[in-house]
A and B are shown apart, each in its own frame.
Chain A
Amino acid sequence: MSRKYIPKVVTANDLRLGDVVYLTADDRWTRLHSEAELIEDEERAQLRLAHAAAQKTVIVGPYLADAKLGPNGPEPIHFREAFRTRGPSNYAHGKQADLNNV
């Protein structure tokens, strides 16, 4: 029996700012994990990753990260990915501060 596929999001860093970004279903790069496209199968994941990797003047280092569906959209599974949605824990810097001002 094959294992159930763990859904993915495509994530990367913004080339200019370095900020964490996620690929949306309508081909935007968003700062919000909850707006990311939750990809349910391996084939589409690879296609979306290739699509992201081609955007060399926009983002850096795209990869697939495990995610799950939550009440407000995709949520990270691993703690590293959870930190990436917020910023550091020692100061209110990064997304946790910047996104409040959006």
Chain B
Amino acid sequence: MYDYSDFDEAFVRARVAQFSDQVSRRLDGSLTEDEFRPLRLMNGLYLQLHAYMLRVAIPYGTLSPRQMRQLALIADTWDKGYGHFTTRQNIQFNWPKLPDVPAILTALADVQMHAIQTSGNCVRNVTADHFAGAAADEIEDPRPYAELLRQWSSDHPEFQFLPRKFKIAITGSPHDRAVTKAHDIGLRMVRNAAGEPGFEVMVGGGLGRTPMIAFTVREFLPVADLLPYVEAVLSVYNILGRRDNKYKARIKITVHETGREEISRMIEERFVEMRPQFGGADQALLADIRAAFAAPAFRTAPVDSYDAFYKADPVFRAWADTNLAQHRNDQYAIVTISVKAHGETPGDATSDQMRLMADLAEKYGHSDLRISHEQNVILPHVHKSDLPAVHAALVQAGLGTANVGLISDIIACPGMDYCALATARSIPVAQEIALRFDELKLEHEIGPLKIKISGCINACGHHHVGHIGILGLDRAGVENYQITLGGDGTETASIGEKTGPGFAYDEIVPAIERIIRAYLEVRSEPSETFLDTYRRVGFAPFKSALYGVEGGRDAA
């Protein structure tokens, strides 16, 4: 993986020193909170409901075992022994104390990590397909491009004060596992007629209060044009974007208000200006970065022991069926470690679990770890003969749950258990849904199903693109949950549709159960997924399951 250059190292260390001084000045009263807030946010430090929260970037979701162990050390030393993996491939520590934050940032810098640009109106952590470099369907590993974008966007003087935050996602596969169409810029690798790799560039996607699917501004962008093109998009947005109204400031609104045709013209025009200014330095840098992402030295060994184990052990087989994905090397598999044991908090890993995952990555996984936007941890390169040992170790650590892609593999934002912006809780809803369907022993029969829960309209829990989305709101001082159906975050992206009036906290799990029972009844065959069924039959059977045939509930 990519190692910091001397420049990166010096930059991060200088920022830690600067922020340490700012914290001292805040504590002794030289800085007011109004002066300090933008400074702490630039370094990922939020003040939440019960405590501060530090959001640490995991660039394109890639971690080394050494970095994972350091996160465990931070959790043990300065937090409460765990960390929360987020839908933006970051990790959040929920209980740091302000005077300790400089020490935490120093510990992060020791392993080439930081919290810079995890907040504020700048280009945030660039997210990527968590199967990058391993997926069987991949055209090219997208991470060298993500790293190029990271270096270009870090402390970019022109883009530190954008109209609003800016999120870029990238995938090297035609199958979109990175929700690229719900990002300010989505980059999806495709091939042109000549077979050359390039990017489909999508602009103006986003969730939040005005969910929009990105539109394609360029069907095919040669890879060498990536930086000037992205810079053209940013600079057009930087000028056009609405700074007068926070709720209209994201690029999705700029696209909507300017019109696709006009904004495309402006971007292309700006690109023509930008292109000659990139005199090849970016391509030289990209070549260096590529070398750092060279594929591991894959082992060649028999896989018979895996096949035998698969046949013999039903528990292992269930796990292999749900948690493994096809690797581009036939002898290997991609392991998704479920950080979603039934009843646990989605995305929370204890320090012991982090250390175990680091050990497994080192021993069996070519020292590579990934964090997915679905809040799980990935071992992207595991030889099939090692899978039984990996599975056994995971089970012992409470990480062996065979539920990836199933109903209990729920995305949930921290919600009102932690977040100062939340309007309702998300975590306990996720916990109760998972426990209920585990109790019913139905989840394997239900099959692939994505439930995504947000505790407010900002949609960190991606509820709009959940097959079933749940949005927690405050309705007259009571938690109320609105359901959407039919959302999809992949290359066939769509925004879910609201079912109708919301449900109270104690009604939401039974409501989800009614939807599922209706699905099991109307699906044409067991292989027809929830999403396919919904797309075939539409709203009606689910609506009547939720509200009764006459739909006779009062509007909330």
Contacts and interface: CB of A to CB of B under 8 A. Distances in A.
A56 B425 CA distance: 30
B49 interface: yes
Interface in B19-54: 26-29, 32-33, 47-52
Given A80-B416, A88-B50, A89-B417, A61 B33 contact: yes
B428 interface: yes
Contacts of B479: 79
A77 interface: yes
Contact of A18 (B29, B98, B417, B478): B98
B427 A90 contact: yes
A20 B47 contact: no
Contacts of B48: 18
Interface stretch (A9-17, A22-30, A38-46): A9-17
A68 interface: no
Nearest to B52: A18
A87 B94 CA distance: 11
A90 B99 contact: no
B421 to A, nearest CB: 11
B428 A18 contact: no
Contacts of A77: 477
Contact of B33 (A17, A60, A90): A60
Contacts of B418: 88
A94 B97 contact: no
B363 interface: no
A19 B33 contact: no
Contact of A61 (B47, B80, B96, B98): B47
A18 B80 contact: no
Nearest to A57: B29
Contacts of B96: 18
Interface in A67-102: 77-80, 83-84, 87-91, 93-95
B519 interface: no
B27 A18 contact: no
A83 B49 contact: yes
A94 B79 CA distance: 12
A18 B50 CA distance: 6
B345 interface: yes
B506 to A, nearest CB: 13
Given A89-B425, A90-B345, A90-B431, A57 B27 contact: yes
A93 B80 contact: yes
B49 A93 contact: no
A102 B428 CA distance: 27
A18 B345 contact: no
A57 B28 contact: yes
A84 B422 CA distance: 13
Contact of B51 (A78, A79, A89, A94): A94
B95 interface: yes
Contacts of B33: 56, 60-61
A17 B51 contact: yes
Contacts of B478: 79
A17 B477 CA distance: 28
B417 A83 contact: yes
A77 B478 CA distance: 11
A83 B416 contact: yes
A20 to B, nearest CB: 6
Contacts of A78: 477
Contact of B50 (A15, A56, A61, A84): A84
A90 B428 contact: yes
Nearest to B422: A80
Interface in B202-219: none
B40 to A, nearest CB: 10
Contact of A88 (B52, B417, B477): B417
A8 B282 CA distance: 58
A10 B417 CA distance: 21
A61 B27 CA distance: 15
B76 to A, nearest CB: 15
Given A18-B52, A94-B51, A56 B97 contact: no
Nearest to A97: B80
B427 A89 contact: yes
Counting from the closest, the 5 A-B pairs by CB-CB distance are A88-B417, A18-B51, A18-B52, A57-B29, A94-B50
19 contacts: A13-B51, A15-B27, A16-B27, A18-B50, A18-B95, A18-B96, A19-B50, A20-B49, A20-B50, A57-B28, A78-B477, A79-B477, A80-B474, A83-B49, A88-B94, A90-B428, A90-B431, A91-B80, A94-B50
Interface of B: 26-29, 32-33, 47-52, 80, 94-99, 345, 348, 416-418, 425, 427-428, 431, 474, 477-479
Given A18-B95, A90-B417, 18 more contacts: A18-B50, A18-B98, A19-B50, A56-B29, A57-B27, A57-B29, A79-B416, A79-B479, A80-B416, A83-B417, A84-B50, A87-B50, A88-B418, A89-B427, A90-B427, A90-B431, A91-B80, A94-B50
